[in-house]
Chain A
Amino acid sequence: MTAETIIQSLASGLLMGLLYGLIAVGLALIFGLMDVVNFAHGEFLMIAMYASFFLFAFFAIDPLLAAPLVAAALFVFGAVVYLLIVRFAVRAKANAGMVQIFSTFGLAIVMRGVAQFFFTPDYRSVTHSWFGGKTVSIGGIFLPQPQLIGAAVAMLAFGGLYYFINRTDFGRALEATREDAGAVALVGIDKNRVFALGWGLGAALVGLAGAIMSIFFYIYPDVGASFALIAYVTVALGGFGSVFGAFAGGIIVGLVEASTALLLPPSLKSVGIYAVYLLVVFVRPRGLFGSM
C-alpha cells in the first residue's frame, strides 16, 4: 500500500463524507426540531434525483443550475408531507414514536411504488453536465469535479444553515419551538407553520444533495435505500438534532469507510462505519455532539 493510495483513499473519503453530511443534515434538522426521524429520507433523495434528471432530460437544465429549483420543489414537498401525514403522526396519543416511524416508513414504500409506476424501474443517468466525468489531478491525486462541487455546496449549505438558525427571525422561531413548543404558542407563533417550514427546509437540503448526486449517480426507484442507513448512522453518530454533528458525522463516516476499505475486503467496508458508530454511542450515548 503506497502513500499515494492512502492519500487518494482519504481524499475520496473526505469528499464523499461531505456529501453524506449534506444528505443527512435535513434529517438532523427535522429531528432537532420535533424529535421525528423521517424514515422516508432516502426516498426524498430519490425524488430529488428524479426531479433533477427530468429537468435535464426535458429542459436541458444542468443539475447544478437545477439544484435551487429542485430544492424549492422539495421544500414544498416536505411541507406537504408534514401537513398531510406527519402532523397527524405526532398528534397520536399512544405510541407516538412507533407511529411516526411507521407512517414515514409506509410513505417510503408508497413513494417507491409511485416512482416505479410513473418513471418505470429503468435506470436513468444525467449523461452530460458541466462537471460530470471531469476530474482534477493534483500531484497524482485525483479529485472528481462532481464531488468537489458537492463538497463546496455542502459547506455552503452548512454555513448558510448555521447563519440561518442563529441570525434570522425564522431561525430563532425554529429554535424556540424546538425548546418549548407550548410556550411559543403563547407568543403567537403557529407551531404547525414552523414545523411545516422546518420540514420544508429539511427536504430542501435533501433536494440540494439529490441534484448534486444526479451528476454522478444512477437514478432508479430504489436508489434511496443505498443512502438511507448511512444517513441515519451519520446523524446518530453526530448526535440527533445537531446540525454541526451531521456535518462532522458525515466526514467521519466518509473517512472511516475509505480507510476500512484499505484494511478489510471492500465488501466489508460498511462494518467499519457501523463499528465506529457503536463505539461512539457506547461511550457517549447521545452521539458526539448531541445534547446530553
Chain B
Amino acid sequence: MTITRRNVLLGATAAAALAPIAARAQTSEVVIGVTYPMSGANAQIGVDAQHAYVTATDIINNNHDFDLPLAKEVGLPGLGGTKIRLVFADHQGDPQKGRAEAERLITQEKVCAIIGSYQSSVAVTISQICERYQTPFVSADNSSPSLHTRGLKFFFRAAPHDEMFTKAMFDFYDALKKKGTKIETLALFHEDTIFGTDSANAQIKLANERGYKIVADIKYRSNSPSLSAEVQQLKSANADVLMPSSYTTDGIMLVKTMAELGYKPKAIVAQAAGFSEKALYDAVGDKLEGVITRGSFSLDLAAKRPMVGKINDLFKAKSGKDLNDNTSREFMGLIVLADAINRAKSTDGEKIRAALAATEIPGEQTIMPWKRVKFDELGQNNDADPVLLQYIGGKFVTISPPQGAVAEAVWPMK
C-alpha cells in the first residue's frame, strides 16, 4: 500500500517535495520515524528491524494480554487511544544520508520522535539533527559508548553499550578464575570500523585493569576476501580466550578459516554482532559448539516470562527468525518510546523528552533480562544488564550473570 503511494510520488519527482504537506491532513496518529540501512551491504539488518518494529507496533496498537507497557490497551490511552504509525527511511549506512533522512522525517513527515539506526556513525548525525530540532532520538541498537557522552539532551538508549557488554565478559572471566579455571591470555580480533574499534578499546581497557594479558590484537578490514593471515596470527598466539568483534560476513570467514588452518581456540567469547545472527549459525554452526556471545536478550527468559515466547512467536511469524540481540533491542526500544509518548500525553518533543527522562519500567515488564529501564542524566540506561549466552546443541542457553543463568558454562569449548 505504501509502495504504491511512494511510486506515485516517485513518478512526479518534482511534485514529490511538496506533496507530503498536502497528504498529511488527518492527524489522528502518532507518527514515529524509523531509520535503518534498507539497501546496501547491511540491508538484511534493516529488513529484520522492520519486522521487529512492526511487531511492536501491533502490540501497542492492538489489545494483547502481555504484561508490557501499552500491550493491553488499544493505541495510546494517554492520547485517547490514538494509534502509532511508523515511517521507515533508508540511510544506507551513510552519516550524511542519515542526517538528511532524519531532517525529512522531522520536517516533512512530522514525526514526534526517531528511533534507529544500527550503524553508530549514522547515529552520531541523526542524534545531532534531533538535538537541533528538539526531537527525541531513541538509540535502539547502537552500542558505541561515545554516543551518550556528547552532552545531548534528546538522546536516549535503553540498551547497554559496549563497555557494559565488555564488563559482563570480564565479570564472567573473574568468576571462572575464582573457581580455578585458567584464563590469563586474550586474543582480540576486531574489524576496523567504529564497532570494532569501540569494542576493542573497551576490551583493552578492562583487560589492563583486571590483569589479563592481550597476546594478539588483530585489527582486520571488514569484508576481506581472505582471513588466512589473520587467523594464522591468532593461531600462533593461541590465547586462552579468543574475543571476536565481527559482523556476519567476517564471522563466517573467521570460523571457516580457523577450521581450515586447524586452529581450535580454547574458548570464544564474541561481542555479539555476527555471532548473534542466524545466518552465521546456518553457515558454520557445526563448528561453533560451545561458543559464547554477549547478548542483550535470551529466549531462556520465556520459561520465567511466558510473554517473551509469545512475542517471539509473533515476530517469527513475520520474519521467519527468532528474536535476537538486535531485533529484541529494537522491539523494546519502540515500547519504551511509545510508553513515554503515552505518559507525555502529547507529541511535543520537549514533553516526550521529559517523559522519557522520567521513565521507570521494571524489568519484569520488558522482554529483556534487564533490572529496569531508567535513564541517567546522559540518557543511558545503566540497569540494562547484558547476558552471556552459550551455543549448545543448536541453541543458546544463558550462562551468566548467575541470577539469569540456566546452565553452567562449558569451558573450554568443544
Which A residues have a C-beta under 8 Å from some C-beta of B? 2, 5, 8-9, 12-13, 16, 20, 113, 116, 120-125, 127, 133, 135, 137, 142, 144, 146-147, 216-218, 220-222, 225-227, 230, 257-258, 261-262, 265-267, 269-270
Contact = CB atoms under 8 A, between A and B. Distances in A.
A127 B221 CA distance: 25
Nearest to B41: A222
A137 B262 contact: yes
Given A144-B260, A218-B249, 10 more contacts: A2-B236, A9-B229, A116-B43, A123-B277, A127-B283, A133-B256, A216-B260, A258-B228, A261-B229, A266-B230
Given A266-B219, A267-B192, A269-B221, A16 B226 contact: yes
Contacts of A265: 219
Interface string B225-237: 1101110110010
6 contacts: A116-B43, A125-B252, A125-B282, A146-B260, A261-B229, A266-B221
Given A133-B256, A267-B192, A220 B44 contact: yes
Nearest to A270: B221
B146 interface: no
Interface string B273-294: 0000101101110010000000
Contact of A8 (B47, B253, B261, B280): B261
Nearest to B256: A216
Contact of B282 (A127, A221, A269): A127
A226 B283 CA distance: 19
A142 B232 CA distance: 10
Nearest to A140: B262
A176 B283 CA distance: 47
B81 interface: no
Contact of A123 (B44, B228, B256, B261): B44
A133 B260 contact: yes
Contacts of B260: 133, 135, 142, 144, 146-147, 216
Contact of B228 (A13, A133, A226, A267): A13
A218 B287 contact: no
A116 B39 CA distance: 8
Contacts, number: 111
Q: Is the interface of B mostly helix, strand, loop or mixed?
A: helix
B323 to A, nearest CB: 17
Contacts of A116: 39, 43
Contact of B44 (A16, A122, A133, A144): A122
Going nearest first, the 7 A-B pairs with the smallest beta carbon separation are: A261-B229, A125-B283, A144-B260, A12-B228, A121-B43, A123-B279, A121-B44
B226 A123 contact: no
Given A133-B287, A218-B249, A261 B44 contact: no
A230 to B, nearest CB: 6
A5 B236 contact: yes
B224 A226 contact: yes
Contacts of A8: 228, 232, 261
